Amino acid sequence: MSTINPLKPSERMKIPRQEPLEQDAAARSVNFLEVSFGFDMDRTVTEAQRCLDCKTPYCVDGCPVGIDIPGFIKLVIDKDYVGAVRKIREANYLPAICGRVCPQETQCEELCVMGKKLTPVAIGKMERFVADYEMREKLFTPPVIRDHREEKVAVVGSGPAGLTCAAELAQKGYKVTVFEALHAVGGVLRYGIPEFRLPKEILDIETERIKALGVEILTNFVVGRTATIDEFFDEWGFSAIFLATGAGTPTFMGIPGESLSGVYSANEFLTRVNLMGAYRFPDYDTPIRIGRQVAVIGGGNTAMDAVRTAKRLGAEEAYLIYRRSRAEMPARQEEIHHAEQEGIKLLLLTNPTRIIADDQNWVAGIECQKMELGEPDESGRRRPVAVKGSEFVLPVQTIVEAIGQKPNPIIQSTTPGLSTSKRGTVVTDDGQKTSRPGIFAGGDLARGGATVILAMRDGKNAAAAIHTYLTDRRSSTTDHA
């Protein structure tokens, strides 16, 4: 039973927002250890006391998976940290991950009433603290599963969408198998987001908790090659399938020089480092070439991760080239701030026009032109327009393009009747249903590149839709028996 916050609202409003502990910027720009240490216990409880426990908690409207935010904060005030993380887990099975990588500033915290005149309650940092506390003290116990269903469900892809769907279905009593093409679980959480933002150990622990629900995970299994979706239905005995294969195919700018040695897509660059251990070459087999000067093109989280990784791998100058202004950058504010602290140079309103080679066909530089903002485009952001005669050459030896990704077409091309969009995404309705009965899809595969929590929301929606589909199918079979 939760107590009531002993402080009056006027007293709560006087408490300043707590700041997280962080690794020193100079030290961390040459190591892969986690940048933010988050809140300690005192900061967490103090921050919890700032919450006004609103009658209409707008913060919950801002959370894509609908966590009972004031409910978990009240448990924090009671110092019942395990109760708090269990409350979060009722809606979100990956709290230690979301507490680290969710863009709370544009979700729950953006709608927090404290933010109207003061600063919003630091919901994400409290989420991280209670999840880490439960891990550190080894106090996790899996939820009891009361129902057991005969139907088998296949989940394709082990990113946040797939893992969430699997966890939800397992708790409803289904037999769930997750198929993953790579040798390790987690999707972008493993091969994209670097260790200094999301330690692999955290992902491993969260994954073990999903396995503890009885979920089977098969790695090195490329669906569409090792087995097709129709074989899953006809030969493997699956009754429903959730497709969550993400958007892992890079797109390129299409400028001259992209085939030179020393040009990477962000996907390849980050996969080499995060998944294949290239930062420990030659102890690991996979090499990576980092020039003295590195340019990363793009303004999102992927670009930010790539440029901060390049700095840690020894680049003396690490540039981020982005064609719009800072206000339009899609990356999280916290990540931009951290990058600048680490010495990353932001070249804003700058657009690459060609890549320049040395006599060995390696990258020697990048030609760019300055931009200015014109009228808004179809995205609602002001369109960057080239400034005539503003071209200049930046000497760089490595270039990483992080300008967007699209889904790999392997499943779509081997599954007849599955509708796809022009962008290569799988078309679904609001309940994640595809054009084929029994096949559901979500996450980046259905959205194009999005966020971890939106992928998780799709995973939850799909689990609910699969449950309804299989329950209806079961009752219609019984009715006709």
User: Which residues are at the interface with ligand SF4 (CB under 6 A)?
Assistant: 51-54, 57-59, 69-70, 112-114, 121, 123
Residue 122 C-beta: closest distance to ligand FAD, Å: 17
> Measured from the CB of residue 60, what is the shortest distance to ligand SF4 in angstroms?
7
Site pattern 177..196 for ligand FAD (x: CB under 6 A): --xxxx----xx---xx---
Residue of 443, 465, 466, 467 that binds ligand FAD (CB under 6 A):
443
Question: Which of 57, 62, 248, 365 is in the footprint of ligand FAD by CB under 6 A?
Answer: 248
Q: Is 378 helix (H, G, I), strand (E, B) or coil?
A: coil
**Which residues, listed in sequence order, are joined to residue 265 by a DSSP beta bridge?**
401
Query: Residue 222, interface with ligand FAD (CB under 6 A)?
Result: yes
Q: CB of 127: closest distance to ligand SF4 in angstroms? A: 11
C-alpha torsion sign, points 248, 306, 304, 250: negative
| Residue 102 partner contact from ligand FAD, ligand SF4, none using kind-dependent CB cut-offs of 5 to 8 Å | ligand FAD
Using CB under 6 A as the binding rule, whether residue 450 contacts ligand FAD is answered as yes
Query: Which residues from 264-293 bind ligand FAD, rule CB under 6 A?
Result: 270
User: Among 26, 33, 29, which residue's Cα sits nearest to residue 312?
Assistant: 29
| Of 306, 334, 338, 309, the residue nearest 322 (C-alpha) | 306
Residues paired with 5 in a beta bridge: none
The string over 144-182, giving b where at least 16 C-beta atoms fall within 10 Å of a residue's C-beta and e elsewhere, is: eeeeebebbbbbbbbbbbbbbbbbbbbbbbbbbbbbbbb
d(CA 197, CA 45): 24
| Binds 165: which of ligand SF4, ligand FAD, none (CB < 5-8 Å by kind) | none
Pick what 52 binds: ligand FAD, ligand SF4, none; C-beta below 5 to 8 Å, kind-dependent: ligand SF4
* 279 residue type, one letter: Y
Q: Of ligand SF4, ligand FAD, none, which one does residue 59 interact with (CB within 5 to 8 Å by kind)?
A: ligand SF4
Q: How far is the CB of 69 from ligand SF4 (least distance, A)?
A: 5
**Which residue, 54 or 227, has its beta carbon nearer to ligand SF4?**
54
- Under the binding rule (CB under 6 A), the answer on residue 301 touching ligand FAD is yes
| 181 binds, options ligand SF4, ligand FAD, none, Cβ within 5 to 8 A by partner type | ligand FAD
Per CB under 6 A, 441 contacts ligand FAD = no
Task: Cite the beta strand spans of 7-78 per DSSP E.
Answer: 21-22, 36-38
Helix (H, G, I), strand (E, B) or coil at 179: strand
- Buried b / exposed e over 95-127, threshold 16 CB at 10 Å, is bbbbbbbbbbeebbbebbbbbeeeebbbbbbbb
Asked if 35 is part of the footprint of ligand FAD (rule: CB under 6 A), the reply reads no
**CA-to-CA distance for 356 and 358, rounded, in angstroms?**
7
CB of 135 closer than 8 Å to CB of 178: no
Q: Are 136 and 62 in contact (CB under 8 A)?
A: no
**The only residue of 64, 157, 257, 291 in contact with ligand FAD, by rule CB under 6 A:** 157
425 binds ligand FAD (CB under 6 A): no
Point out which residues bind ligand FAD (CB under 6 A).
101-103, 156-162, 179-182, 187-188, 192-193, 221-224, 244-246, 248, 270, 301-302, 305, 332, 408, 410-411, 443-445, 449-453, 455
